Chain A
Amino acid sequence: MTAAAPTLLALRGVSKRFGAVQALSDVDLELRSGVVTALVGDNGAGKSTLIKTIAGVHAADTGVFEWKGRPVRINRPHDAQDLGIATVYQDLALCDNLDVVANLFLGRETVHGVALDEVEMERRSRELLDTLSIRIPSVRIPVASLSGGQRQVVAIARALIGDPDLVILDEPTAALGVEQTAQVLDLVERLRERGHGVILISHNMADVQAVADEVAVLRLGRNNGLFDMETTSQEKIVSAITGATDNAVSRRRHRRHHGTGRPAGGASGTEDAR
């Protein structure tokens, strides 16, 4: 089903080195329109480095980037934005003192002569928020007075102002509660329906399972498998992340299934004792 979608961005043999650390070695990744690709891996697996090379924060040392079939170079954030790649960073990067409209259009305000065209910006903001079914009390209140989930959806909406083809979401649900997480996941699904390609970085396997079509696993800076979400069990993905079938996660699940060992809330120290 997903294989039919056209390829947006293909990465081949991407490597990146920071001093003595080989952060990425020979990573391949293919991103397609209308497909949510989850990028998972343990801390230090190279997820953030990989998306930063895509977003142009640091340029890759070697490797080929193909955007819609033709080779491109992404050396600066501006290059990525020009191609149509929008990134929502984990810390959101919103200006708390500005209202929602000003934040959505920050850096690309529409002007009417020399003056800002506030009417047009507000109209487009409302239109965008409505099509995404985002509910906020007013587009004219400072972002500081929004809740964490509302700020997250504003940050995601801001990435969509330039109508990008590919949206990178870095841990969009990390700081959110149950209801707000559901809202953000709904939004991710709406992005897919609108035909955007999405990269979702998350540590939360439940979120990944809920919205991702594909899961790309990184381990120690290398590809460690690409899985189709529908046909792959969570165990398999976890073992790809940790690099072993016998890992802390599977041991915990095993204990719970068989009713042995400590209850689920037990201390993690017991795993090492085995």
Chain B
Amino acid sequence: MSSPTPGAPSHQAGQAPVESDAPMTPAAEVPAPDPRLLVRERGLMGYTEEFRRKIRGGELGSVPVVLGLIVIAVVFQSLTGNFLTPRNLSNLTVYIAGPGIMAVGIVLVLLLGEIDLSVGSVAGLSAALWAALSVTNGVNDLVSIAAAIAAGAAVGAVHGFFFAKVGVPAFVVTLAGFLGWSGLQIWVMGEEGTINIPRDSLVRDLYGHYFSDRAFAWGMALLLTAGYAAALVLSERRRARAGLPVRPRGEIVLRVLLVAAAAFAVAYMLNEHRGLPLALVIFLVILILVDFVVRRTRYGRQIFAVGGNAEAARRAGINVERVRLTVFSLAGGLAAVGGFFIAAQSGGATKSLGSGNLLMNVIAAAVIGGTSLFGGRGWVWSALLGTLVIQSITIGLDLLGMQSAIQFMITGAVLLIAVTVDSVSRRTQRTAGRT
């Protein structure tokens, strides 16, 4: 191959550059940072700039779902005129608790890069077990609830065992569970088609109990805001003491104000109806707890590591099998908890509880909320955001008097859009150099 003549270099542009004998430049003692590297500037300007860059790079996170919620609220309010009423929104916070708690378990499984198709059946099984123990056999209510949750966790551990230790794909294991556990649920229910919830049961309170004193809702909002602000300020102070870069003060104020606005708006709205629902309190406690575990503990870090690169995690000394087994067990336990809420809403345990579109709604909620189907990326609060989207659509279409046929089609379309956003953002990330 002849080297290109200086006069006509352009047509060879696609080929590898000709080797030159120029001496390798020795690395400078203190190499200047690569000018192509983008370093975040100080202040709010740098923050907005980084935000724009993230969007363009495909790191959408939960931005689409927040926009989606606003669109849903505006559309249904303009179509029905009574979507944004305290009564309706208060009901919404009760309806999201059951599927939302199940979606938290799905988020954990998705972070591993796996899927759990059995959560609907496990929820139905746990409700049936509780009803059979407590109502039919007269076992103590609390003991029955604990036993049913333990059964859910055990069922999840069985899935985890076959997936992690035996090596059967999680998709197949949980698909088998989906069938098998709903069979067990029907068997447990026995002759009864429905077991109604007794008047004095705790499970009934999951749907019907409200802390009607206004102080509860305001106190909850205050507690959330203060807790968030304290955590943020304390961590920034520790960072400053260790000589690490800290967030600009404006950003801290802005974040706290946003949380405060959301918390107090919800509190006001709840107080306009019946007060603070017990269901919402339990859902929020679970969200905060699991979020802490996932983002702030060793175990959570291990979940992300296994979802990102299982082989690297194994070589770093992480017990990959144990992480997988426990995550499936947690998903089973959370599905069992969610089952009580759904039983409470429908008035009792039935043979068909947890079947139908519940499973798909729960998985869709986790994905719509911004947790990737491909593992290693996501956050626990996507369970809340995604469930809000799904339940808002359901309630809105109910208000419009749509048939369930239309509801299924619309929910399906929303799920497809969410997964498309996830896939496209992954592709954008790859072209932006972020695999």
Chain A: residues with CB nearer than 8 A to chain B? 77-78, 81, 89, 92-98, 102, 106-109, 111, 114-116, 118-120, 122-123, 126, 133, 135, 137-138, 142, 144-145, 178-179, 182-183, 186, 265
How far, in whole Å, are A98 and B315 apart by their CA atoms in the complex?
Answer: 15
* Given A183-B27, A183-B31, 17 more pairs with CB closer than 8 A: A77-B315, A93-B312, A93-B316, A95-B309, A96-B309, A96-B435, A98-B301, A98-B376, A102-B305, A106-B318, A109-B301, A116-B297, A120-B242, A123-B243, A137-B34, A182-B26, A265-B1
Among A109, A120, A145, A186, the most chain B Cβ lie within 10 Å of the Cβ of A145
Q: Which residue of A lies closest to B435 (CB)?
A: A144
- Asked, given contacts A123-B244, A182-B24, whether A145 binds B313 with beta carbons under 8 Å apart, the answer is no
How far in angstroms is the closest Cβ of chain A from B263? 23
**CB pair A109 B308 closer than 8 Å:** no
Q: Cβ of B6 < 8 Å from any Cβ of A? A: no
Q: Cβ of B33 < 8 Å from any Cβ of A? A: yes
How far, in whole Å, are A183 and B318 apart by their CA atoms in the complex?
Answer: 30
Q: Cβ of B296 < 8 Å from any Cβ of A? A: yes
Q: Cβ of B272 < 8 Å from any Cβ of A? A: no
How far, in whole Å, are A123 and B309 apart by their CA atoms in the complex?
Answer: 25
**CB pair A93 B311 closer than 8 Å:** yes
**CB pair B39 A137 closer than 8 Å:** yes
The interface bits of chain B over 132-175 (1 if a CB of A lies within 8 angstroms of the residue's CB, else 0) are 00000000000000000000000000000000000000000000
**CB pair A96 B33 closer than 8 Å:** no
Residues of B near A109 (CB, < 8 A) are 298, 301
Q: Which residue of A lies closest to B235 (CB)?
A: A119
Q: Cβ of B40 < 8 Å from any Cβ of A? A: yes
**CB pair A119 B434 closer than 8 Å:** no
**CB pair B33 A135 closer than 8 Å:** yes
Q: Which residue of A lies closest to B31 (CB)?
A: A135
How far in angstroms is the closest Cβ of chain B from A231? 24
**CB pair A94 B309 closer than 8 Å:** yes
Q: List 20 A-B contacts (CB under 8 A).
A: A93-B309, A93-B312, A93-B316, A95-B308, A97-B377, A98-B304, A98-B376, A102-B304, A102-B305, A106-B316, A111-B297, A114-B297, A115-B296, A122-B239, A123-B243, A135-B33, A138-B40, A144-B429, A144-B433, A265-B1
Residues of A near B429 (CB, < 8 A) are 144
The interface bits of chain B over 276-308 (1 if a CB of A lies within 8 angstroms of the residue's CB, else 0) are 000000000000000010001110010011011
Q: Which residue of A lies closest to B241 (CB)?
A: A119
Q: Which residue of A lies closest to B305 (CB)?
A: A95
- Asked, given contacts A78-B317, A123-B242, whether A106 binds B305 with beta carbons under 8 Å apart, the answer is yes
Q: Which residue of B lies closest to A180 (CB)?
A: B27
**CB pair B433 A106 closer than 8 Å:** no
The interface bits of chain B over 214-233 (1 if a CB of A lies within 8 angstroms of the residue's CB, else 0) are 00000000000000000000
- Asked, given contacts A96-B308, A97-B376, whether A108 binds B317 with beta carbons under 8 Å apart, the answer is yes
**CB pair B309 A107 closer than 8 Å:** no
Residues of A near B316 (CB, < 8 A) are 93, 106-108
How far, in whole Å, are A102 and B305 apart by their CA atoms in the complex?
Answer: 9
Q: Cβ of B322 < 8 Å from any Cβ of A? A: no
Q: Which residue of B lies closest to A105 (CB)?
A: B301
How far, in whole Å, are A81 and B317 apart by their CA atoms in the complex?
Answer: 10
Residues of B near A92 (CB, < 8 A) are 312
**CB pair B308 A98 closer than 8 Å:** yes
The interface bits of chain B over 1-45 (1 if a CB of A lies within 8 angstroms of the residue's CB, else 0) are 100000000000000000000001111001101100111100000
How far, in whole Å, are A92 and B312 apart by their CA atoms in the complex?
Answer: 8
How far, in whole Å, are A56 and B31 apart by their CA atoms in the complex?
Answer: 37
Residues of A near B39 (CB, < 8 A) are 137-138
Residues of B near A183 (CB, < 8 A) are 27, 31
Q: Cβ of B52 < 8 Å from any Cβ of A? A: no
**CB pair A111 B376 closer than 8 Å:** no
How far, in whole Å, are A30 and B245 apart by their CA atoms in the complex?
Answer: 44
**CB pair A133 B30 closer than 8 Å:** yes
How far in angstroms is the closest Cβ of chain B from A32? 26
How far, in whole Å, are A126 and B311 apart by their CA atoms in the complex?
Answer: 26
Q: Cβ of B249 < 8 Å from any Cβ of A? A: no
**CB pair B297 A95 closer than 8 Å:** no
Q: Which residue of B lies closest to A92 (CB)?
A: B312
**CB pair B434 A144 closer than 8 Å:** yes
How far, in whole Å, are A115 and B238 apart by their CA atoms in the complex?
Answer: 14
Residues of A near B25 (CB, < 8 A) are 179, 182
Cβ-neighbour of A116 out of B26, B301, B307, B313 (below 8 A): B301
- Asked, given contacts A98-B305, A135-B33, A186-B27, whether A145 binds B433 with beta carbons under 8 Å apart, the answer is yes
Residues of A near B239 (CB, < 8 A) are 119, 122
**CB pair A137 B434 closer than 8 Å:** no
Which 8 pairs show the lowest CB-CB distances between chains A and B? A107-B316, A97-B376, A97-B308, A95-B308, A93-B312, A107-B317, A137-B37, A106-B316
Residues of A near B375 (CB, < 8 A) are 97
Q: Which residue of B lies closest to A155 (CB)?
A: B312
How far, in whole Å, are A177 and B30 apart by their CA atoms in the complex?
Answer: 19
How far in angstroms is the closest Cβ of chain A from B32? 8
Residues of A near B243 (CB, < 8 A) are 123
How far, in whole Å, are A265 and B3 apart by their CA atoms in the complex?
Answer: 12
**CB pair B305 A142 closer than 8 Å:** no
Q: Which residue of B lies closest to A265 (CB)?
A: B1
Residues of A near B301 (CB, < 8 A) are 98, 102, 106, 109, 116
How far, in whole Å, are A262 and B308 apart by their CA atoms in the complex?
Answer: 49
Residues of B near A77 (CB, < 8 A) are 315, 317
**CB pair A133 B31 closer than 8 Å:** yes
How far in angstroms is the closest Cβ of chain A from B318? 6
**CB pair B315 A89 closer than 8 Å:** yes
Cβ-neighbour of A126 out of B244, B318, B435 (below 8 A): B244
Q: Which residue of B lies closest to A122 (CB)?
A: B244
Residues of A near B40 (CB, < 8 A) are 138
Residues of B near A119 (CB, < 8 A) are 235, 238-239, 242, 244
**CB pair A97 B304 closer than 8 Å:** yes
Q: Which residue of A lies closest to B318 (CB)?
A: A107
Q: Which residue of B lies closest to A114 (CB)?
A: B297
How far, in whole Å, are A234 and B377 apart by their CA atoms in the complex?
Answer: 49
How far, in whole Å, are A137 and B31 apart by their CA atoms in the complex?
Answer: 13
